[in-house]
Structure 1
Amino acid sequence: MLKNEFEDIIIQETPYYKNLEKRYRDTINFRRYYWVLKRICPQDNFVKYLEGKKGKELVYLGRKIFSLQEEFVSNYLTFLDDETQVTRWEKFFERYNKTLFEIYERFVGRHSERVMIFEIVNRKLLRDLLTKYIMDKNVDKKIVISERFGKVVNQLFAYIRHSLAKFTPIHDGLISDSYEQLPLLPKCGHNETLKLLANKFLGKGLPEPIFSAIYRNIISLYYTRGKKEILDSIAKNRTLDKKGLIEIFNSYFFFPDDQALSEILEALKNQARAMVGDIKLRREKIEHKMLSIRSKIKDITSSLADNLVHLTEDFSTEESIENMIKRLKRSLVSQGYDLKILKGEYQVYLEQENSLNAILNFKLNDLTKFITRNEWDPLIILLFEPKKKFDEEPIQTVIKNVMGEIKNNQSAMRVMANYKVGGFLKEKYNINMINEKFYEIVQDVIEPFVKALLLEEMIDYYPKLSGVVSSEGIRYLGEEVLAERALVVEKDIRVQPKRTGEEVRLNISRYKNLVSILVYDIRGSTFMGTKLRDAKKESEIRNLFQESMLSAAEKYGGIPIKDTGDGGIILFAANHYDIKNNKTLVPEPGNVLSVVRSSLQMVKDAETFVEENIHKYKNWFRDAEERKINFEGITYATLPPSYKTIFQIGVGIASGQYPKEVYLDKNAFGEFDVTGMLVREANFYSKIKAKGRSTIVCDDATVYNVLLNVDKFSFLSESGLRIDPMLLDTEQGLEYWINQKVSRKGFILDLYKIFVSDFGQEIKHPGSIKILVGVNDIVIDETGEIKDGKGGRGKFLFEISTELGR
């Protein structure tokens, strides 16, 4: 497996990708309606094919198929307006039929499920196109058009399926039981759709107004078969809030009656009570920590203030006072950072507790607000309900009230005359016969319609007829097309080759939570010492610089471990507060974004240090051998190269598992100390130099952890910085995002404006460690381990910066 293949697997597990998947595959609605479809058609082969899907099947339609279908709708509508143009229509249809079959055949290949996918997505497109063209027509005209279209489209696709069946096994029972029983209906509301089916109803023995009135009278608004799934979801949920409840209820086709709702409410409250107790304990711990920090801030301020007074009274150099002030600032920033994090955690727990307390006060009516009803749901419920025997008097009344709507429709009146029976002083109808006809229509018309609706909830197409697709939507589609997780009709896209054999399941979760070691190396420190020739001054200046570095590290939760003289070692862990306060020596793994941000802050502060102190170079280096250098009025740009390197830094970051790859303990002097491969690797990376600038190099574990924890990222490539994807149409945008991914040289953490670029590879053999740049024989085995051709273990390396090309 190559690096890009490995990263593609990681990308699929990132929260950003998961959110895109949830949105553009409409996973919640898909789960809900697949659950329904499976119960209506449990043995259908296509339904079984859909079972493994996480969301809607996505299909990208090239311009050719899109234009062809629009041309078909336009031409047939023209023919219906003037049927003397039959020759022109037949000539077009012959060409259309031939072209569509060729496209269909190329798309299907030997994949039998694609026969269904192609037909469903094309019927969905035709429905959308028809809707656009006839939206201003009256109902009677729409009925004629949809029925004529239905006959042509049904015959067309039946012919194509029959022709393809010679080469590919086709299981099209679901098509026959749904679309082929119906006209091609435009998209419209519930009531208008029933009117468009009026001829189907009448042909089965009931006028549409009669059917609709009875349906409204008898339909139940309750469906409780999904109760077990709802209860299981509540039991597994660890963040009960409004958004979570909506998602739980909308993931299943479930409309509870009072009894089922009461059971669910009780389960919710039991779960909420347990969670409130746990959150209160967590809040109390945070409150204790915040009190401790506030007390420590006062002690630090008081102690360092006294030290500043003593230094001022025994004044020797500015640097000693500056060091003390920086130490005060660093201590306050560190405590302030911890306090800020704890306040944030406290607020989150407080909001969660308030949300849970609201659930504990729920009444039945409050819970019903989280249940969303689609206008078609009553029709689905009608399919699930057992047949009811109508109550005589209510239905007689319903029919009587509706007869006025059909009195001018002779066909409808003749049908209703068949149900008339003698009545004392008033007209009556045979309710038993009407009862039978009603359920015959449910079976022969409503069920096919519902099946067709459900099939269209399983599949979606791009580009949208409106032409409006968000940049993120196009990006997600490009990602899926490239990996062959989305299908393409009439558009040549070079997809990534799939691995042969059984799919490998890599343990990506090992990157999700890590601890990090940051080692920084101060460039030019030896040169500075030789030029200063003053050990005391050298110590003061180095300490002044170190305070800047430690301040940047502690600002993001870093734990200073060791001053190496010409640099330092910093540990980053999720429980940094407890480690710093000697509560534990066991680092907790977590999101290592903080170490990345800290490293960038260190580089920035190193540059700021030079800018703020360059005017002191005249004093610092006045005894230097090179007296010819005039520091008066000098700027960084005009410094000699050897002096420019002073206070540049090299930062190395390595992340991994505790205690296997790094171990924290107290040394013989009672101070923190770390050992392990991460320390050696981070130190190795910190020695990497670039001409004229500081460097930050990290390992792959650091980058992959960040990707698995940030809300958004994009791919780093030169084209991405020259093109605004918002200016591209769907097809151009698709090609743009695919090119971005294929040609990527790293990643961009968009929300933080951080560039992460490919750097090279580290390879370890017994007794040696080296870095490779360029072409190599590095591969990833099936366990996720990176190795070279000789079996050496390694890592991919990345460079981090806030500017491209640094």
Structure 2
Amino acid sequence: MLRNEFEEVLITQTPYYQKLNKVYRDSLNFQRYLNLLKNLSNNDPILKYFEDKEGKEIVFMGRKIFSLQEDFVTNYLNFIRDESLLAKWDEFFERYSNTLFEIYKNFTQNDPFRIFIFEIVNRKLLRDFITRETIGRTIEEKAYIAERIGVVINQLFNYVRRSLTRYVMVQDRLITESYEKVPAYPRVSRNELTKLMGRLILKKGLPEPIFSAILKNLLNTNYNLGLQKIIKKIGEMGKEFSREKVMEILGAHFFFPDEEGMLKVFTAVQTTAQGIYEEVKNKRIAIEKRIEELNKEIEDINRLMSEQLINEVRNFSTEESLELHIKKLKRSLLTLGYDIRRFRLELQDYQKKESEIEGILKLKITDFFKFITKNEWDPYFLFLVGERKTIEEEAFQNLLKDAVNECKGSKDYMNILNELRIPGFLKERYNTVEIMKRFNTIIKELFEPFLKTLLLEELIDYYPKVGSALIPENIRYVAEEAMRGRVSLVEKGVTPKITMEEKPLLGVDRYKNLIAVLTYDIRGSTFMGTKLQNAEKESEIRNLFQETMLTVIEKFGGLPIKDTGDGGIILFAKNNFDIKNGKTKIPEPGSVLNAVRCGLEMVKESINFVQENIEHYKDWFREVEDRKINFEGITYATLPPAYQSIFQIGVGIASGEYPKEIYLEQNAFGDLDLSGMLVRESNFYSKIKSREKSTVICDDATVFNLLLNVDKFSFLSDTGVKLTAESMDIEQELEYWINQKTSRRGFIIDFYRIFLSKMGEEIYHPGSLKILIGVTDIVIEETGEIKDGKGGRGKFLFEVSSEVPK
């Protein structure tokens, strides 16, 4: 496997990608309607194609096919408005059909599934164009257009399937039993549909008002299929439990329970909520106790540090010594402040969670019916698959009596009602048996086929959409999926880098929660010692600088382990606070984002340190070179390179697992100490130098952890970091994102403006660690650990910066 291929697999597992997948493939509705369609079609074999998919099939429609179908609708509407344009229509239709046949052959390539996809997506596109072109028209006009254009569309696709795929076993039963049974109706509301179908309903023996009244009366029904799956998933939620998650589980199933079914759901939710509630409550109490302890600690530290500061003033020796004490006091207070802030934020999360669960526990069973997702057409779908109720004879006659009043203005309606009327003494009645027979025929021959067309279109989506612009995030997702071979491209060719069928089983999850070791190396310390010619002064200045670094480290929750003289070793674990306070020595893994942010802030503060102290340079350094440097009025930018480098730093960040790659224990002197590969590797990264600047270098595990824990990321590419969508059409935008992905040289963590650039130069590697460069063959163990081609430990390195790397 190549390096980029592993990254591709990992990218698909990131929260950001999963969110895009959920949104743009509409995974919840896809699953519920696929199951419903399987039920209605007796598990038609063509539906097996969709079973393993995470959401809707996505089709990208090229300019030609999109414009072709738009022109088809426009030209046909012009023709039926003025049928003297027959010759013009015939001329257009010949060009249209020839072009469509060519596109059809190139796309389908005699693949039965692609044949199915092509027809459904084009029918969906045509429906959207018909909808757009019939806005503002009367119901009668819409119905007439739908019936006329529907005949042409059905004949066209029927001919295409029969003539161009004669040597292929085309599975088109779902199409012939749906689209070919009904006109090409535009998108309308549920209430408008029966009006649109009014003429066809009448042909089958019922006035539309009578049919609508019966349908409305029968719509309220239940559907409990999938109940056990729902209860099982609710019980398995664990810490992920939330109101939103419960609604998501219910929404993923076509589920409209009766009172008994809802009682089972209610019981499952309450049981799970009660268990989580106790856990959340105990955690909230523990955090409140920690905050209380920290508040007491502030008073003690403030008193102690104030006394030390007063003693330092009384025994004043140097300005640097006093400044160092002030910095220590500031750092101690800041450390407590940051700890309290972190716990307060954590407390807010647990308080919110506790309040939410309390709200769920107070709900009544009737409240849970509001959790059930009901889309506009669901009542009609439910009517097809649910257990239908019956209408008692007397209630039926009263229902008909009310509906008859709506029919009195139509001679055709009244003629049919006269056929259905049963003479009686003093009271007029209707033949309910015959009426229901005709009603069921209309459902079977008109409503069910139409509703199946809607369900088929829930399995497939297309881009660009008719009448709506796409946002860059949407285009990005389509481009990424195209590169994975998971988008059907009409008229466009993209060579997929890795497809779902080729995707190996990898331990990507190992990178989700890691421990990080940050090692930093202060550059130019030898040069500084030479210039200072004073060991005491050198120690004071170095300690002053170290205090600056430690303030940053404490800000991001790092745990200082060792002062190496020319730098330090820092631990980043989820439970650093407990380790610092002696409650445990076992680091808890999590996100290493704070380690990366800390490294960047340290670089920034190292520059600030020079700028803040440059006025002291004339006192600190004794120039021994031939030329004299005048430090008066000098700035960081105008400092000689040798002096600029004095407080530059090299930061190395290595992330991995405990205790395999890092181990924390007391050393022989009784101090906490780190050992393991991460210490050696982070130290090595900190030595990678740049002449012009401080550097932050991290390993691939650190980058992978970031991608698996942040809400959004982008690709770092030579094509740029931002898309100006206004200046591009959709195909140009798609090309842009494909280029971004294929030419990427790293990643951007958008919210924090962190740029992660792959190292592109050969680097000396000590011991057994190999620094892997470029597109390299690698081996992924079952654990997800990367090995080089020969099975040795290998790492890819990234340079971290807060600006776009050049």
- State whether residues 309 and 325 of structure 2, in contact with CA within 8 Å, keep that contact through their aligned partners in structure 1: yes
- State whether residues 514 and 656 of structure 2, in contact with CA within 8 Å, keep that contact through their aligned partners in structure 1: yes
SS of the residue corresponding to residue 53 of structure 1 reads coil
Q: Does 1:187 align with 2:187?
A: yes
Q: Which amino acid aligns with 1:793?
A: R
1:764–1:509 Cα change, 3 Å: farther
- State whether residues 649 and 695 of structure 2, in contact with CA within 8 Å, keep that contact through their aligned partners in structure 1: yes
SS of the residue corresponding to residue 269 of structure 1 reads helix
For 2:92, the equivalent position in structure 1 comes to 92
1:388 Cα shift? 4.8
For 1:747, the equivalent position in structure 2 comes to 747
Structure 1: segments with no counterpart, 5+ residues: none
1:457 Cα shift? 1.0
Q: Which amino acid aligns with 1:455?
A: L
- 5 Å-filtered alignment, 1:173-322, equals 173-237=173-237, 238-322=239-323
User: How does the TM-score come out when normalised to structure 1?
Assistant: 0.96
- State whether residues 483 and 497 of structure 2, in contact with CA within 8 Å, keep that contact through their aligned partners in structure 1: no
- State whether residues 29 and 250 of structure 1, in contact with CA within 8 Å, keep that contact through their aligned partners in structure 2: yes
- State whether residues 770 and 795 of structure 2, in contact with CA within 8 Å, keep that contact through their aligned partners in structure 1: no
Tell me which moved more, 385-394 or 246-255: 385-394
Deviations 1:202-258 (CA, angstroms, capped at 9, x unpaired):
232222211110111222243333332332232122344342233222211122233
Deviations 1:698-723 (CA, angstroms, capped at 9, x unpaired):
00000010010001111111322475
For 1:663, the equivalent position in structure 2 comes to 663
- 5 Å-filtered alignment, 1:408-423, equals 408-423=409-424
1:761 Cα shift? 7.8
1:610 Cα shift? 0.3
SS of the residue corresponding to residue 646 of structure 1 reads helix
SS of the residue corresponding to residue 484 of structure 1 reads coil
Tell me which moved more, 555-564 or 282-291: 282-291
For 1:636, the equivalent position in structure 2 comes to 636
Tell me which moved more, 328-337 or 644-653: 328-337
For 1:456, the equivalent position in structure 2 comes to 457
CA distance in 2, matches of 1:749, 1:207: 62
- 5 Å-filtered alignment, 1:451-600, equals 451-492=452-493, 494-498=494-498, 503-600=503-600
CA distance in 1, matches of 2:771, 2:390: 80
SS of the residue corresponding to residue 614 of structure 1 reads helix
- State whether residues 764 and 792 of structure 1, in contact with CA within 8 Å, keep that contact through their aligned partners in structure 2: no
CA distance in 2, matches of 1:766, 1:791: 17
Q: Which amino acid aligns with 1:430?
A: N
1:190 Cα shift? 0.8
CA distance in 1, matches of 2:625, 2:300: 45
1:625 Cα shift? 5.9
CA distance in 2, matches of 1:727, 1:246: 40
Deviations 1:175-215 (CA, angstroms, capped at 9, x unpaired):
11111111000011111111111233223222221111011
CA distance in 2, matches of 1:222, 1:116: 32
1:190–1:480 Cα change, 3 Å: same
CA distance in 2, matches of 1:140, 1:805: 63
1:723–1:353 Cα change, 3 Å: closer
CA distance in 2, matches of 1:326, 1:130: 72
1:547 Cα shift? 0.7
Deviations 1:566-602 (CA, angstroms, capped at 9, x unpaired):
1110010000001111111110110000000000010
Q: Does 1:136 align with 2:136?
A: yes
Q: Does 1:779 align with 2:783?
A: no
Deviations 1:88-127 (CA, angstroms, capped at 9, x unpaired):
2122112211211111111111421111111111111111
- State whether residues 700 and 796 of structure 2, in contact with CA within 8 Å, keep that contact through their aligned partners in structure 1: yes
Q: Which amino acid aligns with 2:182?
A: L
For 2:156, the equivalent position in structure 1 comes to 156
CA distance in 2, matches of 1:301, 1:103: 78
Tell me which moved more, 750-759 or 249-258: 249-258
- State whether residues 764 and 794 of structure 1, in contact with CA within 8 Å, keep that contact through their aligned partners in structure 2: no
Tell me which moved more, 133-142 or 619-628: 619-628
SS of the residue corresponding to residue 716 of structure 1 reads strand
CA distance in 2, matches of 1:743, 1:700: 18
Deviations 1:134-172 (CA, angstroms, capped at 9, x unpaired):
112111121111111111111111111112332332111
- State whether residues 15 and 708 of structure 2, in contact with CA within 8 Å, keep that contact through their aligned partners in structure 1: yes
For 2:71, the equivalent position in structure 1 comes to 71
1:390 Cα shift? 3.6
1:52–1:503 Cα change, 3 Å: same
For 1:328, the equivalent position in structure 2 comes to 329
CA distance in 2, matches of 1:737, 1:317: 59
For 1:118, the equivalent position in structure 2 comes to 118
1:32 Cα shift? 1.9
SS of the residue corresponding to residue 371 of structure 2 reads coil
Tell me which moved more, 607-616 or 24-33: 24-33
SS of the residue corresponding to residue 803 of structure 1 reads coil
1:169–1:560 Cα change, 3 Å: same
For 2:47, the equivalent position in structure 1 comes to 47
SS of the residue corresponding to residue 186 of structure 2 reads coil
1:627 Cα shift? 7.3
1:540 Cα shift? 0.6
- State whether residues 181 and 446 of structure 2, in contact with CA within 8 Å, keep that contact through their aligned partners in structure 1: yes
CA distance in 1, matches of 2:766, 2:499: 32
Q: Which amino acid aligns with 1:728?
A: M
1:772 Cα shift? 6.1
Q: Which amino acid aligns with 1:343?
A: R
1:693 Cα shift? 0.6
1:778 Cα shift? 4.2
CA distance in 1, matches of 2:531, 2:434: 108
Q: Does 1:105 align with 2:105?
A: yes
For 1:647, the equivalent position in structure 2 comes to 647
1:272–1:497 Cα change, 3 Å: closer
CA distance in 1, matches of 2:418, 2:538: 110
For 1:434, the equivalent position in structure 2 comes to 435
- State whether residues 128 and 186 of structure 2, in contact with CA within 8 Å, keep that contact through their aligned partners in structure 1: yes
1:759–1:188 Cα change, 3 Å: same
Deviations 1:662-717 (CA, angstroms, capped at 9, x unpaired):
11111011111111111111111111111221000100000010010001111111
SS of the residue corresponding to residue 224 of structure 1 reads coil
1:347 Cα shift? 0.9
Tell me which moved more, 542-551 or 293-302: 293-302
Tell me which moved more, 238-247 or 195-204: 238-247
Deviations 1:325-376 (CA, angstroms, capped at 9, x unpaired):
1111222222222211111111111111111111111123322222232221
- State whether residues 666 and 673 of structure 1, in contact with CA within 8 Å, keep that contact through their aligned partners in structure 2: yes
Q: Which amino acid aligns with 1:471?
A: P
Identity %: 52
- State whether residues 37 and 454 of structure 1, in contact with CA within 8 Å, keep that contact through their aligned partners in structure 2: yes
- State whether residues 599 and 651 of structure 1, in contact with CA within 8 Å, keep that contact through their aligned partners in structure 2: yes
SS of the residue corresponding to residue 307 of structure 1 reads helix
- State whether residues 599 and 696 of structure 2, in contact with CA within 8 Å, keep that contact through their aligned partners in structure 1: yes
Tell me which moved more, 39-48 or 705-714: 39-48
- State whether residues 661 and 678 of structure 2, in contact with CA within 8 Å, keep that contact through their aligned partners in structure 1: yes
1:7 Cα shift? 0.9
1:58 Cα shift? 0.8
SS of the residue corresponding to residue 553 of structure 1 reads helix
1:671–1:629 Cα change, 3 Å: same
Number of residues of Structure 1 aligned to a counterpart in Structure 2: 804
Deviations 1:266-302 (CA, angstroms, capped at 9, x unpaired):
2222222111111111112212221222222222211
CA distance in 2, matches of 1:770, 1:7: 18
User: How does the TM-score come out when normalised to structure 2?
Assistant: 0.96
- State whether residues 218 and 383 of structure 2, in contact with CA within 8 Å, keep that contact through their aligned partners in structure 1: no
CA distance in 2, matches of 1:180, 1:44: 17
For 2:352, the equivalent position in structure 1 comes to 351
Give the alignment's Cα RMSD to 1 decimal. Answer: 2.1
